[in-house]
Each structure stands twice: as structure tokens, then as C-alpha cells.
Chain A
């Protein structure tokens, strides 16, 4: 809720994982009768517990004329329930020593509390209240409508280069709902009504569309009892849960456009269509992006930024998504450098990955980076609970938290070259130039 939308540009392409040498992460998982999936991980190193619920609904489930709805709804689910007065949700959590938040992505909505471990039951009560009988009144809707619109301004309109994600996805997709981001548009946020929220709640906020993931200082047996107590009797959803099956048509021509923004330095953004997370090629694309931009010795940092001095910042980030997504590249020009110059330098490095096989040594570097990143991703119980839930929901296998690294390790040098040719080609991409508003020739400046 506070740090929403999962969408800082820094959001690295690699979801946290596990390496061979790290200790195995143990967990138990099971389904309740109502279809809710439960994952429990026990870790006593700090007396805290993370209670989280992942609902398998995100912006791709929205109507095209209600974009931003899932995220707006996430805000409303802090309003209260049959037993929690409006505004009390935050107070209860914080007044009992906990922190809480939520975020909405293209594919799912995630809520969590991190509490002192003796407050586990409180966390379960809160999340079950939210699932069973959330309550929202018109004042809550109107207030959060205003808050959400301010959030959009703060993140996008009023931030230099802030519209990069919405612009890139809007240009990259014609049919698939990834053409809008979870932020949505203020126009549709204005239109969303209480009745529509109620319907959305009945369809998607049901136990059979939810994963409860708990990690921290818990006793598994006791926790199972408490989970049953609070969630066991929540009725299963009765409506069919729609999943969009729209396939974005194969791209045949490069898309190019210019965005005028409140900025001084031009920027170049590229988005290459790439496979969905978990696909075999996804891992190779991910390592290819690493080759381009992770660390000072990477191609972009070393050549484009340092040697050629074309950029003050440059990066490549594959955005992992449930349906085929985008590998994003982004650079802000150095003084006196045009967007064309910068693009040419980036293109040249991409071309090199298509023509030359990388060296053994550089390949070894990528593998070591993968290993380090996997291990680092599970440092907090909050992150761990989320990773477990993601693996279950997206891949149907929570144990990938221990084994997904094997998929990276199967990638060969040849695979990296192959995916560079297969996906990083012109007709498969969007290129956006971000230029200072003053350079917009289409309207006369005053």
C-alpha cells in the first residue's frame, strides 16, 4: 500500500532463489478444504513472524475500461471488516508492534504483516477478516480514490522519467492486458464504483484464489491449528475465476515513439518482448541482461557508460511476469550526448552479444553473480514468505525456492547467444526517446 506496484526500475530481473551451498529452506504446505493453499516456514533466529496472503489477481484481470482497479481495491482492503472499524486496521497492527503493507502487480496482489512472534494469531485474525468480510463505505472509497490519484501523480507524472513503465507497456502491447500497468489511469479510477468492488471481491478474494504464507518464529503444529481456526470456515468462492488467455500477436515491426517529459537530459528506453517467467529461455534472457548491465564490468557499464561516456546511468532489467513480458533497457544521456548516440552505443553492445560467444571467464562471472543473488534474496522472513508464495502460485512448486538455481545453471554460453538473436531483435522491440518538453516541436512553446 505504501510502497506499491512492485515497480521501481531497480526491480532486478532475478527473483530470489537458492544456491547449492546455502542451507536448504524447509517448509510444509497443504490445502484447506476451502481450497486455500498454506505454506509454513519455521525460523527462530529473530522473534518475529511474517504473515502474508497472495491473491492471484492483478492488473491483467482488469476490464480495459477500469484500469487501476486491482490496485485501488488493494487500498480499500485496509478500510476494515465486520469486526474492524474503519481506520483501525493499521492501528491494530502498529499498536501491537507490527508493520504492514501490500502491493499489486500485473499478476497478483500481496498483503503482509510482520509482527512480534507472539502476535501470530492477531495476524491470522486480520487476514481472515480481510478475506471473509471486508467492509467498505462510500467515504472510504472516496478518500482512497483521492489517495490513489495522488499516488499516481507522485510516482508517475511528477517524477522525471516516471512514466517509463506505463509508456513502454502501452507501446509494446496491443491486445494483452499488460498494455496498462497496475497504476491504471485516473480516468477509470474516477469511475470505479462500490458495486463493482463488491463483485470483484466475490470473484477474486476467495480462499481458493489465495495462498497464505507464513515464515518466522512459529511452531508448525500450533500454527496449523490457528490457520484452521481462522480460515477453515471461510466459504469457498462460488464464481468462476476468469484468467485472461489473450496472446499478444507476434511482433513484425519495431515500434518507435518520443515522449516529452519534465527533464533536462534525454533518455532512451527499449523493451524487448521475451518469454514468461519459468520458461526455459527466460533464464537465458535473464543472464543475458546480467551480461549487459550487472556490475561495473558489464558491457553497458564498461563500454557505454565508462569508455564511450554516452550515459550517466544505463541498465537492463527483465521484468518477470506470468505471461510473456518485457526485457527493459534504459539509459540517461551524458552531457552533450543525443538520444541517437546513446541508442547506437547500446545497439552495438546488443549486437555483440548476438555475434560473439561470451568467454568462459565472463560466463563464470554470470554464474557466480546468479549464485550470490539467490542467496541474498532470502535474508528476511518477509521476503522468504513472499518467494514461497510466488513459486507456488506461478510455478506450482514452492520447492523451487531450493532448486530454481539449477535452471540457471543449465544455461550455456551458446544459449545466451541464441536468445540474444531470438529475442533482442529490432522487430521485437519498442524504442522510446524521452526528450525535454522544450524540444517538442509539435506544439509552440510560449
Chain B
């Protein structure tokens, strides 16, 4: 139990009041300072390279940041090519060895980072000529080497190993695979196989296709002047050759019709990474972009957001809960996430979903809106302390075709967001009903508890690379345990074969409560394999009857003789103790292993009937009793897993029968109480008679 209790007795640390200041009032702010964005100079070289210069003379430093304007590249079975190419850029050029590049950079105390979509270099301004010399050489004249590729490939594959245990890496990878699909550049997953497929030619091809000035931006930020850097840039990048760059088109990834619950097992985990997400169609700079980011601010954008106040400050489930709404040219996304301890994984998900639904319902106050607007206004000014921000603004304007004054009027746009607009965008973009719930955590301790969030009753399991896998709490059964021993143990547990054989016929009177209505259900099993099931509700009664050969259904909607598959199914229904027949040709029975179900260790036994219908039976390792069976059933919402829990075993004539059945399929659940079991009862003459 949570140790939360409110003590009325708050202990104050000191009670001295200070005379001259009125501390009870929050100080008033002074006049608002003017926020100057300043001008970002820009020019374009003949080869198409767009250059932006932000002067900032606070420190004698300069940073050159080159970025390629690429929406996304689908790499397929060679996923990882661009990443490898980016890393290999700094491993040698036509003019320099790797050692010369590395020492050259370190010697001037500089930094050089190369990556798939660009190069970042910074140093003290006094070293900038040397820095640019190396940077431009890398950009224009990279030379790729087989040995370096192999080295890096090995490191990448090792790196994947470290990610297998990193909950954040797993969550991010699987989230992307689910959201965007593996056929979208945003959803591709790099694996050992795809890395093995990459050749030096692929690397070369990537570099010569995409490292072109006509799709590149160069941001120069720091203690320099435009006048000073323009000739430098012309000198170093003027001869960079432009090229034809292909532009791939991608389809909008499809989303699930109902919420999918996904799980990645991380054995031994003490926390679950929980997340809820969906794709959105929200373009940068579009009308909804700023209102959506405001809505996200209220929901999960910071410490005082709804999610954090609830999951952290109210419930202490987590160190922090956040959400984000990301606009994007191709496909954007919404997601909310938190890391919570195992025991409260389901409670935390419930609260998270509640907050999302509240947002959708428009439960947002003017006060919340005002607070977040002030916060965003203040942090806008704060972000300008880093001169890179201004360069980023200038590049965004070009990249996303934003109006020239987009950032100059940014604060006005924030101020103009209304409560109604926030409600509208919340409903539009926060959409878990057509999204995913993902939990990365300890399957043994957590998975069962989150089933209830799945409308289909099913959890899909994934490996850390986003591949769907079979549910894996299953462990091999100990030596000596077989399907036969499990079933023998079960038969022994409910009374032994001798006593079971004495049960020739059976009467079971059952009831359940559904939406306030009492429903009665009675089953009768005859001596010759007959079967009758009666259901009576306030709306009418129905029955299914099987006379050993023929079967019929009678209901207020009409009567029908059962044939074919349905008749076959009835034959199986009519068996009192199916386990007694498991090792005949009517069934095929396989022991799958030991699992954890219904809070206990169970033997998982697959039962396949001769008609091909499959179900899983779970027998308690400890008591031997059947505690759960599951099967796939067809419903209006598609295929679903139906679970039947067997509880409350009580002996009648030395044979134990479950006296409570709990059944659920998706959101539907019901509890059936067995009121009376009679063994070898006097059954009414002609009870199983069928009139055609």
C-alpha cells in the first residue's frame, strides 16, 4: 500500500516574521524587457549552399554547423548506411589520414562531429582557419576505407548489444517501429543483419548522393563578422560540387483501429517505461502548430503539467512524467511517457490515460493556459541566450517555408492562442484510441496487469528491435514433467480417476449478474453423452441441446439445427471431464512449459481438438488444478482472446468442481457463480429430446 496520508500537522521550520518586508505578497515584476531577436545575415554561394551568420561576441568562440535538408531516406535491408557513412566521414580524406584529422582537431582544442546529415565544428575564433580547413576537407573529399568500415561495423553491432538492456533505447526504437512502421524512414530499425548488408559502395553512394551544397545549410555562430567569414566560406566551400539529389516520397503510416497494447520484456527490470502515442498530421509552422505545443505544455510539457503533477506530485509513482507533440513535414507524433515502479504500472497507466482523456474532453482552465503562455514566453527569451537558437530559426524559416517574421511575431502568436483553440487541437492530436500503449518492463511482474488496457484483451509482445515475438514468460518445464504427468496430476487433484468415473451425469445451476440483470444458466450432462444448456434472462430464454447425435439451438430469435463445425463443437461441449479423453484421438495435447498466470506458476498445455480448434489450459504447478484456459474467439471487434478463470473449487461427491468462473474477452467480462452441482441427478425424462 502507498504510504500516503495527509497530516494536518504541518511542521514549520521557523516562525519568526520579519518586520520590514511584507513577505506574504509575491513581488510585482518590473517593466517587461524587450526581446531582441536581432538580424541573422545570410547569403547563398553559387553552388547553392545557404549560409547563415549569427554574430555573438560574448566569448571568443565560433561554431560552424553544416546540415543537410533531407526529409528521410528509406534504407530497407541496409538500415544504418547513413549513420555509418556519417561516422566514417572523419576517418580520412583524399588529403588527410585519420590520424592527421584527429590530431589536427585536438591540437587546436577544437571539436569536430560528423553525422549522417551534417558536420559540426567549433573552436576558439583564433583557430578557425585551421578548423575550416579540416571541416571542408571532410565534407568535400571524404575517402572511405574498407578497414575503417569493418571496425565501425563491429562497434555498431556491439553497440546494439548495449541497447538490448537500455530501457530508454528500447522504448524509443519500438515506439518508432510501431508508429511509423518499418517501411517508413522514421520507423526503420538498425539490426545486426542490416549492418552486415552494408558495403563500402553503399557508403560511397550515400555520401556522393547526399553531401551536396544545393541541399545544405551552413550556420556560422559566434565571435565573427559576416565580412570576415564570407571570403573564408567561399574559399573553403565555393568549389564544393553540387549534384542531383533524389527526393523520396512516403505514404502516411497507418494507425490501429483500436488501441494496441505492446510489451517489451526486460527481465529483472525494477521499473516500467510506460508510454502512449499516436501519429499526427501536423506540419511545422501550420496554424495548429503553436496551439498544439501549448496544449502539450499543459498536459505534459514541464514540471507543473497535468501528467507530472498527477503521477509524481500527487501519487509518487515516478520521478517525472512528460508528453510531447511533434510537428513534422512527413508525419508528426504525440507521445506521453513515464518510468514507474513495477507495482504501480497499471495504476500509472490508468492515471496517464485519464489525463489524456481529460484533455480531449477539454478539461482545461484559463489559469492553466495563462501559466503555460507565460512560461513559453519566458523560455523563448531564455533560449535566445544560446546563439545557436537564432541560427536554427533562420534555417527553419527556409526549410519549412515560414513567413519571414515567423519568429519575430512568435510571442504574439503564443499570446493569441485561445482556450477554445487549445481544446480543439487537444481533441485532434491526442488520440490514444487510434494509437499504442507500450510498456518496456518486467513481463513476469507487470504484463498480466496491463492486459485490461487492451480493448482486444490481447497484448502484442516485441523484442527490443520492434519485431513481434511470442509471449515469453514461458520457460521450459522441469525434466520429467510431460503433458501426461500434468493431466494425471490434475485428475488426481480433483478427486482421482476412480471418483471421476463414478460421475455418469451432472446438473449444474449457475447465475451471473450482467448490467444489473440476474441471468440464470443451467447445464445438464446425460449418461450417454447428452448435453443441455439453458439460459434465462429477463428478456427471454434460450437453450442449446445435444442428444448425442443431433444438436439444436432455441432462442427468442428462432430455432436452428446445428450442423458441420457447430455440431462438432457441441460434441466437445458435452464432455464432463475432457481431461479423461485427452490422450485419445479426439485431442492432441502438448506441454508448452512453465508460465506465470493468474498470479501463480502454471503448466501451459496446448489442447487441439480433432476439429482443429485450439485452446491453452493452464494447470497450477502447486495445486494441480486448472486455473485458466484461453482461446481465440471471433467477435464484432475482430479476433480476440477469451480467458476463462476457474476458481473456488469445492468437492461434490469427492470430486472438485470450480464454483466460480470468470470470463473475459476484450472489454467484456463476467463472473459466473455455480450455485449447485449435483452428481448423478434424477434427470427429467426426455430432457435432451430434440424435435426437428
Interface residues, chain A, with chain B CB atoms under 8 Å away: 2, 21-23, 43, 45-48, 82-83, 87, 90-92, 94-99, 114-122, 124-125, 128-129, 132-139, 142-147, 149-151, 153-154, 157-160, 194-195, 198, 201-202, 217, 229-230, 233-235, 262-265, 294-298, 301-302, 306, 309, 312, 332-335, 361, 364-365, 368-373, 375-376, 378-381, 437, 446
Contact = CB atoms under 8 A, between A and B. Distances in A.
18 contacts: A2-B320, A48-B385, A97-B375, A116-B381, A118-B32, A120-B30, A122-B26, A122-B27, A143-B313, A145-B3, A154-B339, A194-B11, A264-B161, A265-B158, A309-B151, A368-B109, A375-B60, A379-B61
A294 B106 contact: yes
Contacts of A372: 61, 108-110, 123-124
A147 B11 contact: no
A125 B23 CA distance: 8
B47 interface: no
A335 B110 CA distance: 30
B6 interface: yes
Interface in B1-22: 2-7, 9-21
A289 B506 CA distance: 82
B270 interface: yes
A264 B165 contact: yes
Nearest to B151: A309
B379 A365 contact: no
A332 B165 CA distance: 14
Given A46-B381, A143-B313, A335-B161, A158 B269 contact: yes
A145 B316 contact: yes
Contacts of A134: 13
B296 interface: no
B103 A125 contact: no
Given A21-B126, A97-B381, 18 more contacts: A45-B58, A91-B371, A97-B377, A117-B30, A117-B33, A121-B29, A132-B23, A134-B13, A135-B12, A137-B10, A147-B312, A154-B339, A158-B271, A265-B161, A296-B101, A301-B102, A306-B151, A332-B162
Contacts of B151: 306, 309
Interface of B: 2-7, 9-21, 23-24, 26-35, 56, 58-61, 90, 98-99, 101-103, 105-110, 123-124, 126-127, 151, 154-155, 157-159, 161-162, 164-167, 266-271, 302-304, 309, 312-320, 339-341, 370-371, 374-375, 377-379, 381-382, 384-386, 475
Given A22-B60, A160-B165, A372-B109, A133 B304 contact: no
Contact of B4 (A46, A143, A229, A263): A143
Contact of B33 (A47, A87, A132): A47
A269 to B, nearest CB: 15
B138 to A, nearest CB: 13
Contacts of A229: 20-21
A46 B33 CA distance: 10
A177 B159 CA distance: 35
A132 B110 contact: no
A83 B3 contact: no
Contact of A138 (B5, B21, B34): B5
Contacts of B164: 264
A297 B162 contact: no
Contacts of B379: 97, 99
A371 B340 contact: no
Contact of B12 (A48, A133, A446): A133
Nearest to B106: A295
A98 B155 contact: no
Nearest to A295: B106
Given A92-B26, A118-B33, A125-B27, A296 B105 contact: yes
Nearest to B148: A306
Given A82-B12, A334-B155, A115 B378 contact: yes
Contact of A150 (B3, B101, B123, B319): B319
Contacts of B154: 309, 334-335
